[in-house]
Amino acid sequence: MLTQERYQSILSMVNEKGAVTVSELAAFLGISESTVRRDLTALDELGKLKKVFGGATSITKPEGVYEDNVNMRENLMSAEKTEIARYSAQLINNTDFVFIDSGTTTSRLIDFIDNNQATYVTNGIVHARKLVQKGLNAYLIGGKVKGATEAVVGAEGIANLKNFNFSKAFMGTNGIDVTAGFTTPDIEEAMMKEAAVNTSYMAFVLADHTKFRRVFSVTFSQLKKCCIITDAAPDNRYARETVIKEVMK
């Protein structure tokens, strides 16, 4: 196997698993551990991974402030979002006071809600309409409307949220990272999300597997403050930080 082929194989395995040992790589590639160590050193120097004692970990690339609009994101990972939403709807009890964050997966959640005894609060324009159309007891947070995500944000919305004490919150996110936590590109949306998490007894982040190992500009919560409901987590590092439910495994 050529050096560049080894490098590519090592990077594929590291990025898929998040972290690998020297012995795992040696067995996978059929090469000596000393060769693996030399390759890891070279890849670390190139900035492609992080060499650690006994192995290597993936490097999370910052995503910056760019965010696709809601129409572009609606059909991405559709099957995964559906299963995440279906499972999440079952967590709502009759006495719950529920916050539903803006976002495409949380919007899909409303399709599966059949509990008309709970009370729902949202900062999503589309979400509020869907809740009302289903005949559910719903409230819309007031404030500035962000066009790209059709979400209510801003100081007025945050002030409104801080008056509530939710039993459950169902949150969206753009990125999930072991170190950075849950992140989003927009400062105002991050502040709304942070307020919702902090005023909730239990918070669930609904996110498909593509959200893992991504970091956007603003952290709105550390992993330990929210449970994650996903189709599949990339590796067990996340399970060491918080509760994870994988709905498609």
Name the CATH code of domain 3-59 (choices 1.10.10.10, 3.40.630.30, 1.10.4160.10, 2.40.50.140).
1.10.10.10
3-state secondary structure at position 53: coil
Asked whether the predicted pLDDT for residue 66 surpasses 70, the reply is no
Asked whether the predicted pLDDT for residue 211 surpasses 70, the reply is yes
Helix axes 104-112, 78-89, angle to 10 degrees: 50
pTM over 0.85: no
Q: Residue holding tokens 């007031």?
A: 142
246: left (phi over 0), alpha (psi -120 to 50) or beta: beta
Q: For 82-136, write each residue's pLDDT tens digit.
A: 999 999 999 999 999 999 999 999 999 999 999 999 999 999 999 999 999 999 9
CATH 3.30.70.1520 at 63-246, yes or no: no
Contacts of 233 (CB under 8 A, 6+ apart): 209, 212, 239, 244, 246
Contact 11, 48 (CB under 8 A): yes
Asked whether the predicted pLDDT for residue 154 surpasses 80, the reply is yes
Residue ranges per domain, the chain?
A: 3-59, 63-246
pLDDT in the model for residue 88? 98
> What are the beta bridge partners of residue 149?
none
Q: Do domains 3-59 and 63-246 have the same CATH topology?
A: no
Asked whether the predicted pLDDT for residue 68 surpasses 60, the reply is no
